[in-house]
Structure 1
Amino acid sequence: MKHVPVALRWLLPVYILLALLYNYAVPIWESPDEWNHFGMAHFINVRGELPVQIVGQPRPYGYGQEGSQPPLYYAIAAALIAPFNRSDYDEREANPHAIIGDPGGMGNKNFMLHDAVYPPPLRGTQLAARFVRLFSTLLGAVTITAVYFSARIIAPDKAWVPLLAAGLTAFNPQFIFISASVNNDNLVTALNSVVIWQILVMLRDGFNTRRSALIAVLIALATLSKLSGLVLMPIVALAGLWLAWRRQDWRGLFTLGALVVGVWAVVAGWWYARNLVLYNELFGTQRMLDIFGRRPPPSWQKMLTEELEGLRISYWGLFGWFNVFTVRPFYWIMDLVALLGTGGVLLHLWRNRRQAEKLFRALLLVLFLAIGAASLISWTMQTSASQGRLLFPFITAGSTLLALGLSSLRIPAPAIVAPLGLFALAVPFVTIMPEYAPPGPVDSLPDSATPLYARFDDIELLGYETPQQRYGPDDIIPVTLYWQPVEQSDLDYSMFIRVLDPTDTIITSVPSYPGYGSLRTSTWEPGHIYPDYYPVRIPDDAIGHWPLRLHVGWWKFPEGFSLDPVDTDGQALSSVIFEGGAFAASDDAQETVTQMIDPVDFGGSIRLLGYTLEDNHLRLLWETIGAMQEDFTVLIIALEEDYQVGGNNKILAQGDAQPPLPTRYWREGERFISDHILNLPETLQAGTYPVYVGWYSTLYPARLETNCPDNACLLTIIEQP
């Protein structure tokens, strides 16, 4: 222990504790492709052989496209899980409404259904998977160690650089997340990192047969772990050529080359030869694409915007199945750190432009990272793969260069490492666990909820909560429903929330298991009241303005039959719909009328600006001059003769109507149109008939005050021929 640097003595234990926390926080199968990776290990353990990838044929145990990957990680994992009883392996069930690959989605982050999340049941397959996660965590510790010693060789005169490089790796939330999951990236990342470290040692100390043999074995193992290990080949070749030229040691170069080629042929060559025999290709990638799926190459504009954004975000922290963001400022801060580090690297290269050894070592890391990035871009052009974790096999170069750049700008390591470590500690509590924890039951319907009863088979709706406010495009409507299961259901039902416009057109719909995917009707407990929260996003292309109505119901997915609601007396309900505020994409400021008038104010809140009268259709243009607390109705009447206060005024036609957007949602300065129909009697004699306008409350018998008799103003005269 005395030979372990002080920085690693505290860095590695803290990293391991963080990885254990992430292991706990992330339910099994909730990291990218984890169930496929474990499925591959399970297959090897059960069958004792590698799978043959045949398009269109089922792949038992769910290994999917991972059956095309080099097998070393899976072979080790297969040995690790051998002592565990995995008879429950096939009991896992996917979430049919999971939103995968979309971090902007509002829920259903869980790829699988989990009946017990915190604490997890440590038995059977669950325990086996978490044990393999521990192996991944140890591989992460190897990576951190290799990064530290690589950085110490790159910057021997800068004490902060090794600590900063190792800290940027150990406390990267995404690195911890992947290191606490079943994923073959962990093995190739560790092996690549150790190889880079040993190459740097070789450049410093010269050729050594033992070291050359070690490098050869590690490269062979890396290429047997994942194709990312092949990137080491040009790096070790270039490093060997440089060293041989600088020291005129061509024998050392020959020994290195012979060992790398020979060991690779013996240790890893068989797997690549197998690909040639089975799939007529060396790497097996085309067969992998046949199974996983191809996509048309994205445009370079998309690559430099959407794809690059996803890559840089997911390098630092995008959890779940590429669908769980952490707090946005974190990404901005790390973007700034990366930009500063890049600038610092350029400064370092310029300062050392005449120091060949230093310059070459740094440029070798740049080349390693560049080749790795180029290989990822090539893969991304063929399938969706813009995930930051795919750069981790080159993290020794990335972290070391970033630390070198920041150090060149005199940024001390603790200023980066300490906050990053604290944030990594917070992520499981702030970001990860809230996405998977099911809602806990409550004792009764809260006072803030609106009671609303409906029964769907064995499920009762007791009430709901949603703010009665105005929303716009891309806004989120927070909806909480209160469910009470009457009896344990034998089936898992899906519920839905639909946003309806006045014509009953569905504006958006949220299908889900209860708890936004975290509960099941076959497992929740009868008699408990479950608050079920859903943030419902309005589409960003929604138009118009109208009252929002929310429609809720239940059905069996995917069969399609619905559960018909009934009321407290058991009488059938056609549907369960309640108010959800109002939607307004904009006001009617662009609308025009044919006749503008001297403005008339009503109640100090609404102003009439003009109208259009065509046949029996009257259109009024209003402007809001003050806030309103209720929904007023426009009074429109056509009289037989001029209005008489206190008189017996005979109404010939009446066209009262509320505007499309209820008035309590109007905002000062906005303009809105209201439309009215005035159907005069067909037997009406020729003459002129006055039309009056006003506003009245539906809560109490009063009109909004204006300077007209009885608060009804003459608008126009209808001439009846």
Structure 2
Amino acid sequence: FVHTTAENWPWHGYVLAAHLLRALNGLLGLGTLLFVYGSGRFLWPDSSTKAVLATALIAFLPQFTFLHGAINNDGLLICLSSATLWQLLRIWYKPLVKPRDLLLLGTTIALAILTKMTGLLLLVLAVMVIVLWWFSRQPSTDLKSSTRIKQLLLLILPVLLISGWLFWRNWTLYGDPTAANQFVILARGDRQYTLRQVWADMDRVWLSLFAVFGWMNVRPPTWVYGVWQGIVLAAAAGGGWVLARSRQRPLTVRSTFLQSPAPWLAAWVGLVLVAWLRFMMQTPADQGRLLFPAILPLALAAAHGLSQLRSRIIPWLAAILALSTTLTSLFFVVPQAYARPRIITTAEIPTTAHLLYEEMAEGLILVAGEANTAVSHPQQLVPFTLYWQATQPLTTAPTVVLKLFGRDQAVLDSQHGYHGRGLYPATLWPQGDAIIVEEVFLRPDAATAVPT
């Protein structure tokens, strides 16, 4: 992402629009948190502890924070999905369902469909929940068949009126009402992955559930993943403890479970997961954000599991550690990844650097270079510092090819890209005595002998 002086304050034009869209996405994230808290209060009306904990886990999730600081449609889909689940919980605990409840629910689902086709799964879930509500909350004799049909129509009608045109458009243009085939075409066709091949990519998906920024190319320190994996394991341990205790009274627990919203909340996670797996088998989609429409039940389950542990300190310790991961990502990881290269003068070039003064392109000189490590090992990053100078304005941004050579001139690694990782191309550099300091990293191949 190239940032120029056009982005300085006061904002105007496309820069102002970008900041407004980012602010809107932030508000959508706040809306998601409110729906998570509200859903938690439906589940646990006697105490707000679990609801607050579930909300905190999402708010302090680095990937959630990053996602809602960028411009995308994921934030809107996550918010609308959470709003739909909140409305379904509200209906579930009501003795009677009013027509306006169903109309509002259908409208929310329609907006989710217009945002992303994942929203269509919400309609499947909503119909399932309404049917379950009939049999779990009302004796079969209390509701006439005509009343049930009317309720389904009140739910489906807004979906058809608001989003139905999109299915017709997609069918007319692409021959697919969901337009999913266009994503497959853009990825050069159906790759026909098996589940085993999808599983091979799950490490990227798992990590990006917690914290992978940029376009899947910026990662925080390893301890950030350790914290979140610890939270998941602790929540799973708490859930296992609940299951172990439930064996002492299986009939009571089974009856309570079936009367609760837990089955269909779990079904929503399953629907999102199955749809994602199907899409992943056709085209690359190994990003955890695609599972975030199901973040509400996942957070509620995690909060419940953590709350079952014997120590009362663990749930809040988890929240504090989660907050530390977000603060680290927000104030250190992301700013450093997108920081511009330093600008110094010729006199400030360290004496340890090797002076080169090689003209690499017209008006572009590589003044010096320095290897910042004395010993290198396979698969270990090798840092270099390059010192560049622009002697005249450049009309086009040149690309740089870097190669790391080992014994017998074997190429250990290579990179090809713009200066400053694309953040600060040479067309923006000042001319004259200004020296651009660029930090680069190369990684030797594990199969190649590395000189030390």
Deviations 1:578-601 (A, max 9, x none): xxxxx24xxxxxxxxxxxxxxxxx
Q: Which residue of 2 aligns with 1:542?
A: 448
Q: For 1:378 and 1:484, how far apart are their aligned partners in 2?
A: 50
3-state SS of 1:205 partner: coil
Pairing 1:188–2:86 present: no
Pairing 1:269–2:175 present: no
Deviation at 1:119, TM superposition (A): 5.6
1:232 to 122, 130, 136: 122
Q: For 1:212 and 1:115, how far apart are their aligned partners in 2?
A: 49
Pairing 1:364–2:264 present: yes
Amino acid in structure 2 at the alignment position of 1:426: T
Deviations 1:302-323 (A, max 9, x none): 433x422111211111100011
Kindly report the root-mean-square deviation, in angstroms, between the aligned alpha carbons of the 2 structures: 2.4
Q: Which has the larger radius of gyration?
A: 1
Deviation at 1:120, TM superposition (A): 7.4
2:437 to 525, 528, 531: 531
Deviation at 1:347, TM superposition (A): 4.1
3-state SS of 1:268 partner: helix
Q: Can you give the 5+ residue segments of structure 2 that lack an aligned partner in the other structure?
A: 247-251
Q: Which residue of 2 aligns with 1:243?
A: 133
1:454 to 329, 333, 358: 358
Q: Point out the more displaced range, 170-179 or 204-213.
A: 204-213
Q: Which residue of 2 aligns with 1:255?
A: 150
Pairing 1:334–2:228 present: yes
Q: Which residue of 2 aligns with 1:280?
A: 175
The question of whether the paired residues in 1 share the 8 Å contact of 2:184 and 2:190 is answered with no
Deviation at 1:143, TM superposition (A): 0.9
**Closer, same or farther in 2 for the Cα pair 1:184/1:453, shift >3 Å?**
closer
Matches within 5 A, 1:36-435: 112-116=1-5, 122-209=11-98, 210-246=100-136, 247-248=138-139, 249-251=142-144, 253-304=148-199, 306-348=200-242, 351=246, 353-356=253-256, 360-410=260-310, 411-412=312-313, 413-435=315-337
Amino acid in structure 2 at the alignment position of 1:140: G
Could you tell me the percent identity over the aligned residues?
25
Q: For 1:312 and 1:326, how far apart are their aligned partners in 2?
A: 14
Q: For 2:20 and 2:213, how far apart are their aligned partners in 1?
A: 20
1:494 to 399, 424, 438: 399
Amino acid in structure 2 at the alignment position of 1:240: I
Which is bigger in relative contact order (C-alpha 8 A, separation at least 6)? 2
The question of whether the paired residues in 1 share the 8 Å contact of 2:232 and 2:302 is answered with yes
3-state SS of 1:318 partner: coil
The question of whether the paired residues in 2 share the 8 Å contact of 1:516 and 1:533 is answered with no
Amino acid in structure 1 at the alignment position of 2:294: F
**Closer, same or farther in 2 for the Cα pair 1:120/1:114, shift >3 Å?**
farther
Matches within 5 A, 1:553-564: none
Deviation at 1:434, TM superposition (A): 1.1
2:422 to 505, 509, 517: 517
The question of whether the paired residues in 2 share the 8 Å contact of 1:484 and 1:530 is answered with yes
Amino acid in structure 2 at the alignment position of 1:389: R
The question of whether the paired residues in 2 share the 8 Å contact of 1:212 and 1:256 is answered with yes
**Closer, same or farther in 2 for the Cα pair 1:505/1:228, shift >3 Å?**
same
Amino acid in structure 1 at the alignment position of 2:183: M
3-state SS of 1:386 partner: coil
**Closer, same or farther in 2 for the Cα pair 1:373/1:243, shift >3 Å?**
same
Deviations 1:233-274 (A, max 9, x none): 232222222221132243564333121122222121121122
Report the count of equivalent residues: 434
Q: Which residue of 2 aligns with 1:651?
A: none
3-state SS of 2:54 partner: helix
The question of whether the paired residues in 2 share the 8 Å contact of 1:516 and 1:532 is answered with no
Q: Which residue of 1 aligns with 2:249?
A: none
Deviations 1:305-355 (A, max 9, x none): x42211121111110001111111111221221122234335446637245
Pairing 1:465–2:370 present: yes
Amino acid in structure 1 at the alignment position of 2:371: T
Q: For 2:61 and 2:406, how far apart are their aligned partners in 1?
A: 46
Q: For 1:501 and 1:493, how far apart are their aligned partners in 2?
A: 26
Deviation at 1:519, TM superposition (A): 2.3
Q: Which residue of 2 aligns with 1:63?
A: none
Q: For 1:455 and 1:470, how far apart are their aligned partners in 2?
A: 29
Deviation at 1:207, TM superposition (A): 2.8
Deviations 1:392-414 (A, max 9, x none): 11111111111111112245543
Q: For 2:159 and 2:424, how far apart are their aligned partners in 1?
A: 50
Q: For 1:324 and 1:448, how far apart are their aligned partners in 2?
A: 30
Q: For 2:68 and 2:107, how far apart are their aligned partners in 1?
A: 23
Q: For 1:264 and 1:375, how far apart are their aligned partners in 2?
A: 20
Deviation at 1:380, TM superposition (A): 0.6
Point out the structure with the larger helix share: 2
Pairing 1:440–2:334 present: no
Point out the structure with the larger strand share: 1
**Closer, same or farther in 2 for the Cα pair 1:465/1:402, shift >3 Å?**
same
Q: Can you give the 5+ residue segments of structure 1 that lack an aligned partner in the other structure?
A: 1-111, 544-582, 585-664, 666-721
Q: For 1:310 and 1:505, how far apart are their aligned partners in 2?
A: 30
Q: TM-score, normalised by structure 2?
A: 0.88
Q: TM-score, normalised by structure 1?
A: 0.57
Q: Which residue of 1 aligns with 2:381?
A: 476
Flag as ranges the 4+ runs of structure 1 deviating above 6 A: none
